[in-house]
Structure 1
Amino acid sequence: MQAPLSNRRGALLYVVAWVCLGMALGAVCAALAPARLINGLLFALPTTPVYGIAAGFSTYYLCRANPLGTRPAPLLIVMLAAAAIVAGFMWLAVLLGWNELCRGLGVPWAGITVRTELSALLFALGVLLYGLLAAINYLAIEAGRARSAERRALEARVAAQEAELRMLRTQIDPHFLFNSLNSISALTSQDPPAAREMTLQLASFCRHSLGLADQDRVTLEQEMTLVRHFLAIEKVRFGARLVTEEALEKGALACLVPPMIIQPLVENAVKHGIGQLPEGGLLLVAAWREGSGAGMRLRIAVSNAVDTEGQGGGAGGIGLANVRQRLACAYPNAATLAWKREDGTFSVEIALPAQTRES
């Protein structure tokens, strides 16, 4: 909570509220005196905002110095009651002194007759207003504590989510490197030029992936550049058996995706799908947008040929589980992953919000 009058708008609203209260109190005093309305307003209006500002600061610092729960409740009540009584007497003294000063002017529109009943009313009102300000300050302090606790909890959840995303992302690199190095090792004795080519492609892939590692989101075009590096590596190993195609909507290329979100799906398609077919097959990567406005979705599909008599074809390994967990962390309840196998084709489809750097 901020101190009273710490910003212009708050100060203006606070003073206006006390001026309105002073006008109402002046009308009441004029009726009880009895006196003319102008006499009652001159009696109450100048001093009421002054009391409001003084009592506001007093209760603010008193409540800040004695938060709820730090002292026994009876002691806190007694302390606040004593402060309210002192404030009530001080306000009554200021009102009476101001009234005597006005009456000393000797003009008919200045000063009123303050009776005992009116004095008691003014004193009680001062005590009640002080207590009300103390209650408002305590409510504001507790609300600020609740907001701070909620913010800390949110920051902790975000930190945990980011740690999980980093862990899931680092799972991909060793898995892919392990497979690639095994392939290079096998090619070294069988086809040294192909092994050299694969090593160069792997270096390009690693260089590009390191450039994306520190980013939370990359464009689909950047992600596809990484996928093409990966497929170039695999084509050295599979040759004509691996046929690739892309069907990418131009507008979809500017959409943002988590880095290395497609590569595990393509790796699964090669390893568990086309890699199991002696004749090889087609691997297709497609992306398009659907819907409009804030509800627009980006859909990414990876499909590959599979053995019609076998099982899986792309559902094995850590790829799908990794991608599903990363999507759940990056887009809570806003992204989906589904896969299906039919007619000799295994396909995986991702749906997520279509966001761009401009949006």
Structure 2
Amino acid sequence: MLTDNIIVIHYLNQPWEIAIVDGLVSVGLLTLAGLLIIHTLRFYLPTGKQYINIFSKCLILAVIWVLLIKVILHFFYGQNAAYSKLLYESLPVRFSIGFLLLGCFTMIGILWFSQQEQKESETRKQDAEKLAKEAELFKLRQQLQPHFLFNSLNSINALIGTRPEEARRMVQQLSEFLRGTIKKEDTDWISLKEELQYLELYLNIEKVRFGNRLSTAFQIDKESTELKIPALLLQPIVENAIKFGLYDTTGQTEIILSAKKEGGHLLIAVTNPFDPATASPIHGTGFGLKSIQRRLYLLFGRKDLLTSTAKDNTFTSIIKIPQTQNHE
């Protein structure tokens, strides 16, 4: 624009000196006006009818710009009659060009800062959703621990009088279990192998409670042991299976946990027998399974990762853990 201004003024039979000064003054003042608009838009973005106000300011700035050009250039070259005439005759054209350019500056500034504000708003929204999700996940884990702890303490209390050695052993195992829980609170993802080691601690406690009535079997494919799983996910579902399989029966119950890789998922199934005469499959869909369902939804945004079926006196819960993300 500076070059164009200089060339036009020189083309109209004005010396190079006047053409250069005219260009520098015109473009310099217009640049300052544009920067003023951009600076204003950084702190104030118009909306709705406020657009009229911002473009009114562009109009005022264009008038001020033209007046300053007139005053400054007339001060330096007012004695040049030919240039003074050209200056006065060009003021309407200068005003039109200045207003259009300032309007363009304004529109570009509004679009730019609106996009930036939208990005910041989206980032804040995502951060808030992330914090809310993390808080809910933490709450779900915290709700499960008192539930299990309450049952364990009741069992220890019952064992103290009749089987004090088993009560002591159960206290030690409970201590190890809770210590592992605290360590894993800060870990989002662990390998299936680590999760099963943690699950063994829980099952040892339950076997003290139920004695020979409870037996477990793991059917784990080798390739699945290093696949990733949300920490502390399996204990609630196994606790649900124990509750569903043992509480309404007096005989021996076997809980079977199987795991394999299927496509891009880690597939985990937990099965337990139940007596339809004394138990209802509805009882097996309590807080434990609901908490897992909710946790999986918060992590993956899907509601189809946990399914439960009751068939032929067997209750089966199947969890699918997507392995498409990097869970380091």
TM range (shorter): 0.7 to 0.9
**Structure 1 residues 52 and 252, CA gap change in structure 2 (3 angstroms):** farther
User: Which stretch of the first structure deviates more once superposed, 339-348 or 53-62?
Assistant: 53-62
**Structure 1 residues 356 and 301, CA gap change in structure 2 (3 angstroms):** farther
Q: What do residues 81-127 of structure 1 show as CA deviations (whole Å, max 9, x unaligned)?
A: 111222345568899999x9xxxxxxxxxxxx968776643442122
1:13: which partner in 2?
A: none
Across the aligned residues of Structure 1 and Structure 2, the Cα RMSD in angstroms comes to 3.8
Q: Would the aligned equivalents of 2:202 and 2:235 in 1 still touch at CA under 8 Å?
A: yes
1:110: which partner in 2?
A: none
Q: What do residues 143-180 of structure 1 show as CA deviations (whole Å, max 9, x unaligned)?
A: 33333333333322222222222221111011101111
Aligned identity (percent) is 29
Indicate which of 157, 161, 177 corresponds to 1:189: 161
1:7: which partner in 2?
A: none
Give the alignment of 1:260-299 within 5 angstroms: 260-291=232-263, 296-299=264-267
Q: What do residues 6-36 of structure 1 show as CA deviations (whole Å, max 9, x unaligned)?
A: xxxxxxxxxxxxxxx5677788x49x9579x
Q: Would the aligned equivalents of 2:223 and 2:261 in 1 still touch at CA under 8 Å?
A: yes
**Structure 1 residues 117 and 333, CA gap change in structure 2 (3 angstroms):** farther
Matched, 1:82 2:60: yes
Query: What TM-score, normalized by structure 1, do the two folds share?
Result: 0.73
Matched residues in 2 for 1:325 and 1:241: separation? Answer: 31
Residue 279 of structure 1 aligns to a residue whose secondary structure is: coil
1:3: which partner in 2?
A: none
**Structure 1 residues 130 and 227, CA gap change in structure 2 (3 angstroms):** same
Give the alignment of 1:155-170 within 5 angstroms: 155-170=127-142
Q: Give 1:312 shift.
A: 2.1
Residue 250 of structure 2 aligns to a residue whose secondary structure is: coil
Q: Would the aligned equivalents of 1:88 and 1:125 in 2 still touch at CA under 8 Å?
A: no
Q: Give 1:42 shift.
A: 8.3
Matched residues in 1 for 2:70 and 2:245: separation? Answer: 89
Q: Would the aligned equivalents of 2:189 and 2:231 in 1 still touch at CA under 8 Å?
A: yes
**Structure 1 residues 264 and 75, CA gap change in structure 2 (3 angstroms):** closer
Matched residues in 1 for 2:307 and 2:154: separation? Answer: 30
Q: Give 1:337 shift.
A: 0.9
User: Which stretch of the first structure deviates more once superposed, 279-288 or 83-92?
Assistant: 83-92
Structure 2 letter corresponding to 1:229 = L
Q: How many aligned residue pairs are there?
A: 319
Q: What do residues 166-225 of structure 1 show as CA deviations (whole Å, max 9, x unaligned)?
A: 221111011101111111122222222221221111111111111112333333333222
- Specify every segment of 5 or more residues in structure 2 that has no aligned partner in the other structure, as ranges: 14-18, 78-84
- Specify every segment of 5 or more residues in structure 1 that has no aligned partner in the other structure, as ranges: 1-20, 36-40, 101-112
Matched residues in 1 for 2:191 and 2:59: separation? Answer: 63
Matched residues in 1 for 2:199 and 2:183: separation? Answer: 14
